[in-house]
């Protein structure tokens, strides 16, 4: 029971890391595509307002820190693996016999 709970917690942590990294990439892409920010780099964000610059800087740093420390990046990769495995298992899961009638 404890091992199952730890495994589910680990999978949840991997999904969380995946969501944070994908969300950061999506937010950075949305800020640049909308024209609110002209450049988002790991140490610099050029936006129209200081608030947007701080948001863009934070969003730009999340993937960089994740890749440099490797732990959140590996957790996100495992989150992708678990997600794909769940999708495949859901697609090929055998269903009960169909009721005729």
Q: Look at residue 98 in the predicted model and tell me its pLDDT.
A: 54
Q: What is the pLDDT of residue 78?
A: 95
Is residue 37 within 8 Å of residue 43, measured between CB atoms?
no
- Of the two residues 94 and 11, the one the predictor is more confident about is 11
d(CA 55, CA 31): 10
Instruction: Determine if the pTM surpasses 0.85.
Output: no
Residue 83 tokens, joined = 């997600």
Tokens standing for residue 38: 């002209």
Which tens digits make up the pLDDT trace of 20-58?
999 998 988 898 888 888 888 777 888 888 898 888 888
pLDDT tens profile 64-99 = 888 888 999 999 999 999 999 998 888 877 665 555
Map out the domains of the chain as residue ranges.
10-92
How big is the CA angle at 59 (ends 57 and 63), to the nearest 5 degrees? 110
Supply the DSSP string of 59-88, one letter for each residue: HHHHHHHHHHH-HHHHHHHHHHHHHHHHHH
């Amino acid at each position: 029971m404890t091992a199952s709970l730890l495994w589910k917690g680990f999978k949840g942590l991997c999904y969380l890391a995946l969501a944070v990294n994908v969300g950061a990439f999506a937010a950075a892409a949305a800020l640049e595509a909308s024209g609110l920010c002209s450049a988002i780099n790991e140490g610099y964000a050029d936006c129209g307002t200081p608030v947007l610059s701080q948001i863009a800087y934070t969003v730009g740093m999340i993937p960089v820190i994740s890749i440099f420390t490797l732990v959140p990046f590996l957790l996100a990769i495992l989150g992708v693996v678990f997600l794909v495995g769940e999708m495949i298992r859901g697609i090929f899961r055998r269903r009960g016999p169909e009721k005729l009638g």
